[in-house]
Amino acid sequence: SAVISQKPSRDICQRGTSLTIQCQVDSQVTMMFWYRQQPGQSLTLIATANQGSEATYESGFVIDKFPISRPNLTFSTLTVSNMSPEDSSIYLCSARTDKNIQYFGAGTRLSVL
Amino acid sequence: AQSVTQPDIHITVSEGASLELRCNYSYGATPYLFWYVQSPGQGLQLLLKYFSGDTLVQGIKGFEAEFKRSQSSFNLRKPSVHWSDAAEYFCAVLTTDSWGKLQFGAGTQVVVTP
């Protein structure tokens, strides 16, 4: 299994600022992902974090708004840039093991004022 | 198009009663199948998975799920629900033609009454 530590667990931010969310996995994993979950909704994939290269973004998400880094096999960051109230959501880090099992962090609950 | 369907958005069940949550998928081949639970304010926890073999799989917290190829279904069950089972439940699939993406259903909200 993989245990994922995500921080911060929650934050309240001002419009126009940026927030960086960190994700640390306790073991080497093959793939890491970032999701967004709107209240009462399912998960939407933002991007796949690739080690040492640019992330692969899903339709509707762009690097300028959601820059992602993955400097090694167990760590990744997601930045939410130039925030607006529409960015208020839960952001979840996820990692997939070589057994094709995907685990999730506890999430970051973001409120933008 | 590939899809995962959870027909029930919301289910209310009495404590001690049985629970069944439905999940149907639309793929050409048998995918890898998962059930996750999300308690309020928490991330997703893996309940169980099916890759191959015995079609009835046991998971944590007393849950089980049965894969039925003929119905493209992977329903989750629990014989006796506890108040702590109140949560959101997500079915998810991973297919060999989309190794990069875990596809989620819309989720089923379970409310447990005394």
The amino acid at residue B90 is F
Decide if B74 touches A, using CB distance below 8 A.
Answer: no
User: What integer is the mean pLDDT of B56-60?
Assistant: 97
Q: Which of A89, A86, A91 is nearest to A33 (CA)?
A: A91
Q: Quick check: A50 and A26 in contact, CB under 8 A?
A: no
State the best of A9, A43, A101 to mutate against chain B, taking most chain B CBs within 10 Å.
A43
Decide if A75 touches B, using CB distance below 8 A.
Answer: no
Per-residue pLDDT for A80 more than 80?
A: yes
For B5-44, write each residue's pLDDT tens digit.
Answer: 999 999 999 999 999 999 999 887 778 999 999 998 889 9
The DSSP bridge partners found for residue A94 are: A33, A104
Candidates B43, B51, B104; nearest CB to A107: B43
Q: Quick check: A91 and A4 in contact, CB under 8 A?
A: no
Per-residue pLDDT for B92 more than 60?
A: yes
**According to the model, what pLDDT value does residue B2 have?**
73
Decide if A73 touches B, using CB distance below 8 A.
Answer: no
Candidates B49, B94, B106; nearest CB to A42: B106
**According to the model, what pLDDT value does residue A28 have?**
87
Q: Mean pLDDT score of chain B, rounded to an integer?
A: 92
**According to the model, what pLDDT value does residue B98 have?**
55
CA distance B50 to chain A (A): 10
User: What integer is the mean pLDDT of B38-55?
Assistant: 93
* CA B6 to each of CA A16, B25, B26, B61, B106: distance values in angstroms, whole numbers, following the listed order: 37, 9, 12, 21, 6
Decide if A24 touches B, using CB distance below 8 A.
Answer: no
Give the Cα separation of B56 and B53 in Å (integer).
Answer: 9
Give the Cα separation of A45 and A91 in Å (integer).
Answer: 10
Q: Quick check: A20 and A13 in contact, CB under 8 A?
A: no
- Burial state string for B15-38 with b = 16 or more CB within 10 A and e = fewer than 16: eeeebebbbbbebeebbbbbbbbb
For A29-74, write each residue's pLDDT tens digit.
Answer: 989 999 999 988 999 999 999 888 889 999 999 999 999 999 999 9
Per-residue pLDDT for B96 more than 70?
A: no
**According to the model, what pLDDT value does residue B99 have?**
60
Sign of torsion over alpha carbons A35, A38, A40, A45: negative
Give the Cα separation of A7 and A39 in Å (integer).
Answer: 19
Decide if A3 touches B, using CB distance below 8 A.
Answer: no
For A4-33, write each residue's pLDDT tens digit.
Answer: 999 999 999 999 999 999 999 999 898 999
Q: Which of B82, B68, B87 is nearest to B25 (CA)?
A: B68
Give the Cα separation of A15 and A43 in Å (integer).
Answer: 24
Residue B17, φ and ψ in degrees, nearest 5: -80, 165
Q: In chain B, what residues touch A103 (CB-CB under 8 Å)? A: 46
CA distance A92 to chain B (A): 7
User: What integer is the mean pLDDT of A101-107?
Assistant: 95
User: What integer is the mean pLDDT of B77-104?
Assistant: 88
Decide if A5 touches B, using CB distance below 8 A.
Answer: no
